[in-house]
Structure 1
């Protein structure tokens, strides 16, 4: 969605879209805890897309390149953090398995 917004920064009447991956993943995790995971599983979490209600410029476009770059950087940092945490969990599991065998 961020790439779409950046690509359309000068497109007249284009409204910036937003995706809340945190909310989507939270719903998927809650479904997994309660046993209500759909047939596709957690790996196919659908993202909720919303259109930004920020003020528009004269051409009807409301994409702010600065906001999009900040969002992209924030997403990259969050992804790196989650990836490192998952790698740590897998290292711990590998250690437990290798020492238990």
Structure 2
């Protein structure tokens, strides 16, 4: 049993990676708020993570694995940048809303801090157990 490969630690590491990428995407959106024709981006991660963890699993019996899309293994779940092309906010065909970006930034900051704290606590617990606390 690999204590560092546990589902909890791997999930927290993936969340930290996704939050760091989200921070960069939000910064890029804000930096281009006045760029004509710029289309904002977002990070898609939560849906795939839920599927990988089995939260959205349907209790269906299948005969062929091609019948229903199987969730990715947790190790292969990665955050993905998605460009939002279908909206326009301003007169210059730009779709960045500064208020929404600031809300996204605050939410992402809290998510990152919570994941970092949880991972730190988990690793501190492992340290305690290894040292024979």
Report TM bin, short chain. Answer: 0.7 to 0.9
4+ runs of 1 displaced by more than 6 Å? none
TM-score normalised to the size of structure 1? 0.74
* Structure 1 residue 84 displacement after superposition: 0.3
Structure 1 CA distance for aligned equivalents of residues 41 and 85 of structure 2: 6
Matches within 5 A, 1:12-27: 12-26=36-50
In structure 2, the residue matched to 1:65 is: 98
2:29 is the alignment partner of 1:5 = yes
Q: CA RMSD in A?
A: 2.3
Matches within 5 A, 1:1-101: 1-26=25-50, 31-32=73-74, 37=75, 45-51=78-84, 53-99=86-132
Q: List alignment gaps of at least 5 residues for structure 1.
A: none
> SS in structure 2 opposite 1:99?
coil
TM-score normalised to the size of structure 2? 0.58
The structure where helix makes up a greater share of residues is 1
Q: List alignment gaps of at least 5 residues for structure 2.
A: 1-24, 54-71
Structure 1 CA distance for aligned equivalents of residues 79 and 45 of structure 2: 9
How many equivalent pairs are there?
A: 91
Structure 2 CA distance for aligned equivalents of residues 52 and 87 of structure 1: 38
Go from structure 1 to structure 2 and tell me whether the alpha carbon gap of 1:2 and 1:52 turns closer, same or farther (over 3 Å shift). farther
Structure 2 CA distance for aligned equivalents of residues 88 and 6 of structure 1: 33
